[in-house]
Amino acid sequence: MEQRGWEQCDFVYVTGDAYVDHPSFGPAIISRVLESHGFKVGIIPQPDWKDSGSITILGMPRLGFLVSGGNMDSMVNHYSVAKKRRQTDAYTPGGVMGKRPDHATSVYCNLIRKQYKKVPIIIGGIEASLRRLAHYDYWSDKVKRSILLDSQADIISYGMGEHSIVEIAEALDSGLEVKDITFISGTVFKAKSLESVYDAVELPSYQEILDSKVKFAQSFYLQYCNTDPFSAKRLVEKYKDSEYVIQNPPAKPLTQTEMDRIYSLPYMRDYHPSYQEMGGIPAIEEVKFSLTSNRGCFGGCNYCALTFHQGRILQTRSHESIVAEANQLIWDKDFKGYIHDVGGPTANFRYAACDKQSTKGACINKQCLFPNPCERLKVDHSDYLKLLRRLRILPNVKKVFIRSGIRFDYLMADKDDTFIKELCEHHVSGQLKVAPEHVSDSVLKLMGKPENSVYEKFQARYKKVNERLGKKQYIVPYLISSHPGSALKEAVELAEYLRDLGYMPEQVQDFYPTPSTISTCMYYTGLDPRTMRTVYVPKSPHEKAMQRALIQYRNPKNYELVMEALKKAGRTDLIGFDKKCLIRPRQFSKEKQWVRKEKSGSAGGTAKQATKRNKTKQGRKPGTAPNTRKRTTVNKTAARKSS
């Protein structure tokens, strides 16, 4: 501030992440956008929430505080799906855990309120965006109020926020009081009455959704149907007779010109130099040499919150903008010749799903890809191919990877092999990661994913193209266990599929109920909010452990869980010596006979020596699965070959 001659910041941005000035980090984008409109922004990264003075180091801002929990929801950042504390935080210097509080946005806001009673507080980022109305909180297993009330903030800027934050800043700068800023798209505000609220849909009240899971599901689906900026209505959620939370319709999507401008701002593209001695910020490694080409996603996966945050309408940058950014990367002293990614939520989307979306928005009651591609869907990889070809020929570039995910059902809708051929030839290095998530069609339907037959056809096509190219490249599938709708029957079905595939994943992701997804609504209510039909939900930690173990049935540590799961599922036919069996029975009787022979002296030596020889010959402790070590080695070799 002294170097710039500032006496006071216009805004002070408080964030749960360390400061990384890179366009993959929300605080960097918002602060640079405000700066480009002439506002003075100071940043307080990871203040000590136990010390109220930590929030005052830049003084009181002229217009207000901006608060974000960081690039991730602070609870997801802190806890695994098993609610165990994580060991590292990729957004903190040196990966150290514990530099931000749980529910960071609310904690920071309450800290500010202790010091500055009247200053406007605007909250944003993924944590505030997905908790903007009453929501189910997995970590406390409760329905919580809008974060606007718990945080004591004045406004939420939800979604990506570039449009709404500038409008809020200009309104405050013009002299409007924060309580009067109720008209901006992409915001949520509080009101004591509904006298000035028009064209609104009233959701079930907070008390109603506390008392009834049916009401919760109905409320959630109303919210889900109002996520499109062209058709959405204002939503009202009542808490008390004089306490309402009102959500304005989402902000309009960015135009390509606006996207280009945002990504052309003077980012330093690195973490703050003060973090160097502490080990830097691990999160920068994945994105430092990656390029964002799009935003939004019309894929519509039910376990994903993108519909609520970025929306379903695709927004893209121009080739010139992306190539200009690439020309910055390739001369970086740390660049090794590899562009790690060119994509976004889904890499191979480069157009809005159909022409209608740009003026009338996405369909409320219809998905673009699920259960089958819409007849109006534009399936075209030509623009993405042109972009990749331009990037491949840049100086210093050895390889351009695609890591942010290929939507294989969209690719399968393209009958032209040009894209998949160039994908295999130039943009894959041995393994292509895709996300079928499951193989049971009943579970896939609840996930919003295509039938398993689509994935199998993609596998066959991918294999055929690689064979034509003379390449040995494989698919690594991402899988989710314990998703709503998956009972032990479906988990066994997935295990059998992996058995036939000859593949055992090293990591399995349990379904994680994060705020504002259809799948989380199913998890909490046991209802599909779209149909209000009952859905089976695996909730007990033990059942979830069994489902996860079935996917990794070859791991000896999972033997007992797999055995129990197969018995409970009525699938003891999968316990045996046939090649179709998942596990073998333990041969306690044969071991006892061997020990008796040793004790009788028929094999020579004492009983103690006999037991020792028995353990050596079998290569295992009595009571473990036969040939465990040998099979584990073979399976590891097979896994390496398959991957």
Tally of structural domains, the chain: 4
In this structure, what CATH number is given to the domain that contains residue 105? 3.40.50.2300
Pairing of strands 533-534, 527-528: antiparallel
- Confidence (pLDDT) at 642: 42
Q: Given 186, 214, 229, which residue is the final one in a domain?
A: 186
- Confidence (pLDDT) at 87: 96
In this structure, what CATH number is given to the domain that contains residue 316? 3.30.750.210
* 570 occurs within a structural domain: yes
Do the Cβ atoms of 249 and 229 come closer than 8 Å?
yes
Do the Cβ atoms of 85 and 78 come closer than 8 Å?
yes
Which tokens in the block code for residue 140?
């406390």
- Confidence (pLDDT) at 416: 96
Omega of the bond leading into 450 within 30 degrees of 0 (cis) = no
Residue (of 318, 292, 434, 468) closest to 386 by Cα position: 318
> How many other CB atoms are found less than 10 A from the CB of residue 602?
9
- 218/203 Cα distance (integer angstroms): 8
Do the Cβ atoms of 152 and 121 come closer than 8 Å?
yes
Do the Cβ atoms of 271 and 218 come closer than 8 Å?
no
Residue (of 450, 517, 446, 452) closest to 486 by Cα position: 446
Beta bridge partners of 45: 15
* 159 occurs within a structural domain: yes
Instruction: Please report, as a single letter, which amino acid is at residue 476.
Output: V
CA dihedral (13, 17, 18, 20) in degrees, to 10, reads -80
- Confidence (pLDDT) at 251: 97
Domain limits for position 606:
599-642
Query: Are residues 552 and 621 both part of a single domain?
Result: no
* 30 occurs within a structural domain: yes
- 42/70 Cα distance (integer angstroms): 16
Q: Given 429, 462, 491, which residue is the final one in a domain?
A: 429
Do the Cβ atoms of 580 and 499 come closer than 8 Å?
yes
Query: Are residues 631 and 524 both part of a single domain?
Result: no
> 191-226 burial by CB neighbour count: b if 16+ within 10 A, else e?
beeeeebeeeeebbbbebbeeebebbbbbbbbbbbb
Query: Are residues 487 and 555 both part of a single domain?
Result: yes
Query: Are residues 32 and 104 both part of a single domain?
Result: yes
Do the Cβ atoms of 520 and 205 come closer than 8 Å?
no
Do the Cβ atoms of 254 and 311 come closer than 8 Å?
no
Could you give the 3-state DSSP secondary structure of residue 155?
Answer: strand
- 563/585 Cα distance (integer angstroms): 9
Residue (of 376, 314, 317) closest to 349 by Cα position: 314
Query: Are residues 390 and 537 both part of a single domain?
Result: no
* 130 occurs within a structural domain: yes
Which residues have CB under 8 Å from 360's CB, separation 6+?
230, 231
In the chain, the N- to C-terminal Cα span, in Å, equals 53
- Confidence (pLDDT) at 217: 98
Query: Are residues 492 and 563 both part of a single domain?
Result: yes
* 61 occurs within a structural domain: yes
Residue positions counted in the chain = 643
- 339/427 Cα distance (integer angstroms): 10
> How many other CB atoms are found less than 10 A from the CB of residue 281?
25
Q: Given 186, 202, 218, which residue is the final one in a domain?
A: 186
Query: Are residues 553 and 617 both part of a single domain?
Result: no
C-alpha distances (whole Å) from 292 to each of 213, 345, 595 are: 39, 9, 65
Do the Cβ atoms of 93 and 40 come closer than 8 Å?
no
Query: Are residues 96 and 158 both part of a single domain?
Result: yes
Query: Are residues 545 and 620 both part of a single domain?
Result: no
Query: Are residues 603 and 574 both part of a single domain?
Result: no
Query: Are residues 626 and 485 both part of a single domain?
Result: no
Query: Are residues 39 and 155 both part of a single domain?
Result: yes
Do the Cβ atoms of 584 and 577 come closer than 8 Å?
yes
Pairing of strands 341-343, 290-292: parallel
- 115/49 Cα distance (integer angstroms): 13
* 359 occurs within a structural domain: yes
- Confidence (pLDDT) at 341: 96
Instruction: Please report, as a single letter, which amino acid is at residue 77.
Output: N
* 459 occurs within a structural domain: no
Which tokens in the block code for residue 391?
């990037």
Q: If the chain, 643 residues long, is cut into consecutive pieces of 10 residues, what is the mean pLDDT of each piece?
A: 96 98 97 98 97 94 98 96 96 97 98 96 98 98 97 97 98 97 97 91 97 98 96 96 96 97 97 96 95 95 94 96 97 96 95 92 93 95 98 97 92 96 95 93 97 96 97 92 97 95 84 97 98 97 96 94 96 94 75 49 44 44 37 40 41
pTM of the model: 0.89
Which residues have CB under 8 Å from 592's CB, separation 6+?
none
* 196 occurs within a structural domain: no
- 213/521 Cα distance (integer angstroms): 9
Which residues have CB under 8 Å from 400's CB, separation 6+?
338, 339, 342, 388, 391, 392, 426, 427
